[in-house]
Chains A and B, each alone.
Chain A
Amino acid sequence: MRANSLSTWFDRNIRYLLLVPLGALLLLLLAYPFLFDVYLSFQESQAGRTLGFAGLSNYVRLLSDARFWQSLAFSLRFALTVTALEVFLGLGIALFVDRYLVKNQWVVALFLMPMLVPPVLMGIMFQLMLNRFVGVLPYYLSALGVNFSFLGRQGVMATLVAADVIQWTPFAFLILFSGLQMIPPALREAAAVDGARGGQVLRLIVLPILLPTIGITAFLRFIEAFRTFDLIYALTGGGPGNLTTTVSIYIYKTAFEQWDFSGAVVGSLVLLVLAIVPLLISMKVVFRGEGGA
């Protein structure tokens, strides 16, 4: 009888038991550093040493630092711009490939190539390609009589956005193209039989079904773009001044140039709290979309 009840308990809870090893590992890898970060945020630290309890002073210092808010504003502006462009372009390319090139898989592979380049390498490549004196792009532009300073005062923001869009539009394309492939052809065929034209099929059938995928794509790109570091750091170092400093660059410089680990940790924690808001919104959009589908 007792063995029977044990067996029943085991059967009922085996799913949780199987999660224990992974859960313990995650706890070790995530919970410990997180708790240590919280501890460090209340400590005064310098050059890797903790100097004692600091109360809320690290939080006050960060929240009253105009440079932190500037970096946050820049990250937000940058992330919104590139996300909008990448999702729009990614969707356009996905629709084009889905319609005209779906059988040519090498085209899909070709579109994905920029995504495979490490961002820091992308930054260095852009530095060389856009260099006024040895860069390939200024060379051809000047042959056409166009003289544009890609990393000068007027052009730097557009250049950073373009570099990110070139690198990450393939990511948006990949997810959206996969989403398009999941739509049963019968739906479109039925709509066509009913007399719907291409634009109507897109607006009334394809886009509503694709909406959760678009939401997920936008969310993933927004999060990634918001915490961009390497591409911008390689191209501008966050400058001039802190004109192109993202939150990640701000945190990095606080930690490894100011050697203020407590300040950097506070920046990360504030960022975590701020990230929860778009996360909740996007999850709501995604799940509502799924329900509707």
Chain B
Amino acid sequence: MKRATLVYFIAAVTAIVLLASPVQAQQLPTLNVLWWPGPEGDAMQEVCNYWNEHYAEAEGFTAQVLLTSRVGWWERMMAALSAGSREFDVVMTATYELANMADHLVPVTDQIDTWNLFIESSLDAVRSGGKTYAVPTDITIYVPMYRTDLIERLLTDPEWQQTYTEIASQYLGKPLEPKQPEDWDWDDLKAVSLFFTRSINRDSPVPYGIALPAKNIIYNVFVWNGILWSMGGNWFDASGNPALDSPEALEAMAVYTDLMEWNASPDESINWEYPELQLAFGSGQVAIILQAIAGYGELINPEQYPQVYDKVGLMPNPGNHATHTHVLGAAVNKHSRYVDEGVRFLQFLATEPALRIYLEGAGNPPVPNLMEAYAAERPHFPFLSANAVQYGFVEAVQGQPAPVQYFSAVAEELSAGWALVVSPEEALRRANERLSGLLSR
């Protein structure tokens, strides 16, 4: 009996192996797309599913997404690229990592003929040395968000307006009057922040006027950089020398340091970034935040933020409205065995149907047509598109987007200034010195 069971078992295993073998032999090669988990990973999975369903057989390869944790993602990916890894064929890149990755990527400037779909600043974000290395898949800009109910009352209540003017006179030396947010300059933003700070105006409905993202982290430099550019400043002068000691830079620093000194932003905001700002605004405790626009999509969700979901306003950066553009994109690993296949996948990805799938899967592709079309589902898309088109910029160093080294150095030095640990002048001097050091390497 036992012997018969054994024979049946061996026969079954043999049959499975024989039946499976032809399938194995016919299997198409798989293009591995290295992405990170979250909305972007889900969106890319949808694109790969579509590819596998409609194109895989004709093109001769399937595509699959490889996800690894967001924590330490860039470190792991760069280490793998540096080691010449062939474990992935298409890889996610970002504005501030592109310069470091470019040596390991395949330029696709001439292989793709649909670049005109994209917002120009998003393409600047994936160019290095005049070559385009990636198809932009997600775009972010950084702008102020404000409580619409509070600003509406400020614009209509004479008593509030009188107090506002008094506060502006006292702290800014100017008798300012309330304006529509889109007409603000940075002094107006300061005045509104002061007005809604309870330690300055005890009738303020919220304890703090603003929450500043002042933690020592590169993303917070993206926010501050918008202020600098909106005042006409830049990290570098026309000759390419560091220019963070300019009057514009000092003025941009003063937006943070003044508000910190006046306690208009909570003291612990020196250690705050995106999530803490969302909590501060979402819990109805501050009137303004300077935030990545992705935050808006979360704040208007009534389940997530019941206190403010219907009171969130978006405005362009005061001044000339310049806004830092941050982009994620898909690039081909130069060390891959499937470079041609990778390029063909990118050609597909750079089409409107593919990017529509990516968008529907929760991505933010920088394609104005699509962003306009999805205004109902993502109310901030038209604003994002218009601002990125008109005012989006990419901080560049020697013909390529400034790499993470630069942002990290600037974050470290400026965060000391934002937190009033050193004077704004000293923070800018040190940041300038660090930029010089990086340029000389």
Q: Which residues of A contact B (CB under 8 A)?
A: 46-49, 67, 120, 127, 130-134, 149-156, 235-243, 253, 255-260
Contact = CB atoms under 8 A, between A and B. Distances in A.
A49 B441 contact: no
Given A47-B78, A127-B276, A240 B415 contact: yes
B216 A241 contact: yes
Given A236-B216, A257-B404, A258-B405, A153 B103 contact: no
A259 B404 contact: yes
A153 B82 contact: no
Q: Which of A131, A156, A236, A239 has the most chain B CB atoms inside 10 A of its CB?
A: A239
Contacts, number: 116
B439 interface: no
Q: Which of A133, A150, A237, A259 has the most chain B CB atoms inside 10 A of its CB?
A: A133
B216 A239 contact: yes
Interface in B239-282: 266-268, 270-271, 275-276, 279-280
A153 B421 contact: yes
B421 A240 contact: yes
B276 A237 contact: no
Contacts of B408: 253, 257-258
Given A132-B266, A132-B285, A242-B216, 4 more contacts: A149-B267, A236-B216, A239-B216, A241-B419
Contacts of A120: 71
B185 interface: no
B215 interface: yes
A242 B218 CA distance: 14
B405 A259 contact: yes
Contacts of B275: 127
Q: How large is the interface on B (under 10, 10 to 19, 20 to 34, 35 or more residues)?
A: 35 or more
7 contacts: A131-B279, A133-B280, A239-B270, A241-B417, A241-B421, A259-B78, A259-B403
B75 interface: yes
B402 interface: no
Interface string B101-133: 001000000000000000000000000000000
Given A131-B276, A240-B216, A259 B100 contact: yes
Contact of A152 (B270, B279, B417, B422): B270
A237 B283 CA distance: 24
A258 B409 contact: yes
Contacts of B268: 130-132, 149-152, 155
B36 interface: no
Nearest to B214: A240
A48 B421 contact: no
B394 interface: no
Nearest to A128: B279
A11 B2 CA distance: 48
B81 interface: yes
A240 B412 CA distance: 7
A67 B412 CA distance: 10
B267 A153 contact: yes
B412 A241 contact: yes
Nearest to B280: A133
A237 B215 contact: yes
B203 to A, nearest CB: 19
A72 to B, nearest CB: 16
Contacts of B218: 257
Contact of B216 (A48, A155, A238): A238
B418 interface: yes
B412 A256 contact: no
A152 B214 CA distance: 11
Given A48-B78, A259-B404, A240 B283 contact: no
B82 A240 contact: no
Contact of A47 (B100, B266, B411): B100
Interface in B143-158: none
A30 B270 CA distance: 40
Given A48-B82, A131-B279, A239 B266 contact: no
Q: Which of A134, A154, A240, A253 has the most chain B CB atoms inside 10 A of its CB?
A: A240
A133 B283 contact: yes
B426 to A, nearest CB: 10
B271 A235 contact: yes
Contacts of B270: 151-153, 156, 239-240
B42 interface: no
A256 B416 contact: no
B279 A133 contact: yes
B416 A240 contact: yes
Contact of A49 (B82, B276, B404): B82
A191 to B, nearest CB: 51
A152 B81 CA distance: 39
Contacts of A150: 268
A110 to B, nearest CB: 30
B215 A149 contact: no
B420 A149 contact: no
B138 interface: no
A239 B416 contact: yes
B28 interface: no
Contacts of A132: 266, 268, 280, 285
Contacts of B75: 255-256
Contacts of A151: 268, 270-271
Nearest to A130: B268
Which 6 pairs from chain A and chain B are nearest by CB?
A: A241-B416, A239-B216, A48-B82, A152-B267, A240-B419, A257-B408
Contacts of B266: 132, 149, 152
Contact of B271 (A67, A154, A237, A259): A237
A67 B279 CA distance: 32
Interface string B150-182: 000000000000000000000000000000000
B306 to A, nearest CB: 13
A239 B271 contact: yes
Contacts of A238: 216, 412
A153 B413 contact: no
A239 B283 contact: no
A240 B212 CA distance: 13
Nearest to B286: A133
Contact of A237 (B82, B217, B280, B427): B217
A242 B404 contact: no
Contact of B422 (A241, A255, A257, A260): A241
A118 to B, nearest CB: 11
B375 interface: no
A129 to B, nearest CB: 12
Nearest to A149: B267
Contacts of B267: 149, 152-154
B10 to A, nearest CB: 37
